[in-house]
A and B are shown apart, each in its own frame.
Chain A
Amino acid sequence: MTSQITAITMPKWGLTMTEGKVVGWLKQQGQSFAPGEELLEIETTKITNVFEAPEGGTLRRIVAPAGATLPVGALLAVAAPEAVPEGDIDTFVAGFAAPAPATETEAETEAAPREVEAGGLRLRYVELGEGASVPVLLLHGFGADLNTWMFTQPALADGRRVIALDLPGHGGSTKELRGADAESFAAILGQAADALGVARMHLVGHSMGGGIAISFALRQPERVATLSLIAPASLGPEINGAFIDGFVRAARRREAAEVLGLLVHDPALVSRTMVEDVLRYKRLDGVPEALTRIAEEWFPQGRQRAGLGEAVAGLKIPVQIIWGGEDRIIPVAHAEALAARLPVQIIEQSGHLPHMEKAGEVNRLLKRLIENQA
């Protein structure tokens, strides 16, 4: 019967996660669940997320109670059909050996940040997965970096390369900019893709990264297999100017925490580490200047410069738009205006970061479009 018993273990989300804390169980011991159902909430140092069942089953034993902090790979619970006797579950729990944590070299080869040169600029990227299928390129938003894809990147890396880039002026990339407008970023994106040997790609862009993806797809549609836009910029004039100003200005923890709280539906999701990471980035020489320049180019006087909804609707490639229903940065109305002409998915109880706040749901939507075009 042991073969029918499966371990539910602490997942590894993102590059830096080594342990997680069980916030609470959303299923009780003895309940059954379908694939994709939410089992429990896990808090990492960066953000709290729900853990979704990879496959269906019955929750026979909860091993890690709420409040427990455990390393990646540790046993959280046991799933097994009801027919499996309690004694077998006991034996399984007693005999469970968490896989040894990956050594530093293993972890490094798997997902160590690397660098690529594009347009004379040094860009940081992380690549996961391998395979012959068309690769995925992930583009983060204004002031963010490739870590915004911590839940997305591993989920898509099945049989294909998934590359998350830090845009110029962001993350671990050079803080120098070639130009601050969408076309300049799109040109750099094309050069980076060339350097990485990516001719065609599934393009996923969030917020300003969505605006860059739109610009790229309009210029070089033949290189874009599918386009997934998550709360993208460039579809309409409205944007939360106070957020942009506040983000550019915030130099201290209190200010930064307040501003970052606007990004998500539930501000409690924003951890102190997330705030600290943003501050560490913003303290680097050149970053305030880069952010100011980009903000002035993209969002002068608290309005977006570009309105490309019509052009996006006219693209001859598969496009989907994903938006948090409670986005306080760019209004969800921009998506609703295109709903008659493009597939639009509104994610409830999500703010401007649906790919982090509702990672499972967004991952399914991304996979569906990408894999249908395989």
Chain B
Amino acid sequence: MALKSIRQALNEALAQEMRRDPRVVVIGEDVAGGAGSQGQRDAYGGVLGVTKGLIGEFGEERVIDTPITESAIMGAAAGAAVTGLRPVAELMFCDFLGVCFDQILNQAAKFRYMFGGKAKTPLVIRTMIGAGRSAAAQHSQSLYHIFTSVPGLKCVVPSNAYDAKGLLIQAIRDDDPVIFCEHKLMYDLRAEVPEEPYTIPFGEANIVRDGDDVTVVALSRMVHYADEAIDALAGDGIECELIDPRTTSPLDEDTILESVERTGRLVVVDEATPRCSMAADIAALVAEKAFAALKAPVKRVTAPHTPVPFAPSLEKLYIPSPERIAEAVREVYGYGR
């Protein structure tokens, strides 16, 4: 099976779904690759090349380059979805949700409910998350917890190329609005990805590795940092179970709870800020539903409650590191021993 990057996996998912279903359209800034400027057609394929090649195969009717106006992109996509298309809209950086949140929060997320179940909104919003490129405070946040907190939205945070393709196809075929969060530092990460289209159900966590001592739940890029930390801990005889929820809404509570019932110890790793976050949510879940199984307090490894720093040295300290994850696991593992 061929190794493909997350970028290639996403591109393949989009192309295959557009071939299968003529209602699937792509809309966003530069998704056609600078089609508006002279000689630049298909030059970029989005800011990170995910939509490259689509304009050539599917044309301008289905690959729609827009002005720089997120509120119009999201509004047009939500309206198109509710009237029969299946748009994949691009919100280049998730930070830009600030200018288009009404379309998502009060429109797309509410249509099915407020129209008494008679309206469907098969909308996908692809958006970039994450720090690590010194892109400063307005282009580096991980805001999936905000989407997760809104009833009516589904939220996906893939950590590898196999999951990225299957979850994006699932998102496109889903009849509800789905926010699909791509970490900007992972596009080149490769994995074995089948040629054929396939879907991964939402709300089904991936158990990345087995272990009986400590449960580690990590999201997006943090799955890889946690994996690195767990490798180091294995040398000390600490065996961790690593769980990647893959989707934060719906959340696979059972897999997390079953694991903690066995290990009695939990560390949650989340690149987002700590307040009202996925880390807080998962810690609360376990405190409420698996309290009797806990042998140690739940530990969260997150960013601090500050904007993302621009200075590379500070940004490095901001993002949870494998060392901090390992330290948290040691603390939880050693508690009460």
Contacts and interface: CB of A to CB of B under 8 A. Distances in A.
Nearest to A175: B196
A286 B194 CA distance: 13
Contacts of B76: none
Contacts of B198: 280, 283-285
For A272, A283, A286, the residue with the greatest tally of chain B CB atoms inside 10 Å of its CB is: A283
A251 interface: yes
B199 A283 contact: yes
Contacts of B194: 280, 284
B59 interface: no
Contacts of B255: 253
Contact of A251 (B162, B201, B207, B210): B201
Given A253-B207, A272-B207, A285 B196 contact: yes
Nearest to B234: A69
B50 to A, nearest CB: 21
B196 A284 contact: yes
A252 interface: yes
Contact of B204 (A253, A272, A286): A253
Interface in A275-292: 280, 283-286
A283 B207 contact: no
B204 A283 contact: no
B196 A272 contact: no
B162 to A, nearest CB: 8
Nearest to B255: A253
A286 to B, nearest CB: 7
B166 A272 contact: no
B200 interface: yes
A283 B210 CA distance: 23
Nearest to B192: A280
A272 B200 contact: no
Contacts of A284: 194, 196-198
Nearest to B210: A272
Interface string B6-42: 0000000000000000000000000000000000000
Contacts of B201: 251-252
Interface string A247-284: 00001111000000000000000001000000010011
B163 to A, nearest CB: 11
Name the prevailing secondary structure of the A interface residues. loop
Interface in B187-233: 194, 196-201, 204, 207, 210
A251 B166 CA distance: 13
Interface string B117-144: 0000000000000000000000000000
Contacts of B204: 252-253
A67 to B, nearest CB: 10
Name the prevailing secondary structure of the B interface residues. loop
A267 to B, nearest CB: 16
Nearest to B258: A254
A118 B237 CA distance: 52
Interface residues of B, number: 14
Interface in A222-265: 251-254
A253 B198 CA distance: 16
Interface string A301-337: 0000000000000000000000000000000000000
Contacts of B166: 283
Interface in B164-187: 166
A18 to B, nearest CB: 14
Contacts of A286: 196
A245 B194 CA distance: 26
Contacts of A252: 201, 204
A286 B254 CA distance: 29
Interface string B249-279: 0000011000000000000000000000000
A148 B311 CA distance: 54
A284 B1 CA distance: 14
A280 B1 CA distance: 13
A325 B210 CA distance: 31
Contacts of B200: 283
A285 B21 CA distance: 14
A251 B198 CA distance: 12
Contacts of B207: 253, 272
Contacts of A280: 162, 194, 198
B229 to A, nearest CB: 19
Contacts of A272: 207, 210
Nearest to A283: B198
A280 B255 CA distance: 18
B230 to A, nearest CB: 14
A272 B210 CA distance: 9
A303 B166 CA distance: 34
A24 to B, nearest CB: 18
Contacts of B197: 284-285
A293 B134 CA distance: 54
B53 to A, nearest CB: 21
Contacts of B254: 254
A285 B195 CA distance: 11
Nearest to B200: A283
A272 B209 CA distance: 9
Nearest to A252: B204
Contacts of A251: 201
A284 B194 CA distance: 8
B243 to A, nearest CB: 11
Interface string B42-56: 000000000000000
A236 B154 CA distance: 48
A9 B204 CA distance: 38
A175 B196 CA distance: 10
Contacts of A283: 166, 198-200
A298 B104 CA distance: 49
A251 B204 CA distance: 10
B109 to A, nearest CB: 26
Interface of B: 162, 166, 194, 196-201, 204, 207, 210, 254-255
CB-CB nearest 4 A-B residue pairs: A283-B198, A285-B197, A284-B198, A284-B196
Given A252-B201, A285-B196, 7 more contacts: A280-B162, A283-B166, A283-B199, A284-B197, A284-B198, A285-B197, A285-B199
20 contacts: A175-B196, A251-B201, A252-B204, A253-B204, A253-B255, A254-B254, A272-B207, A272-B210, A280-B162, A280-B194, A280-B198, A283-B199, A283-B200, A284-B194, A284-B196, A284-B197, A284-B198, A285-B197, A285-B199, A286-B196
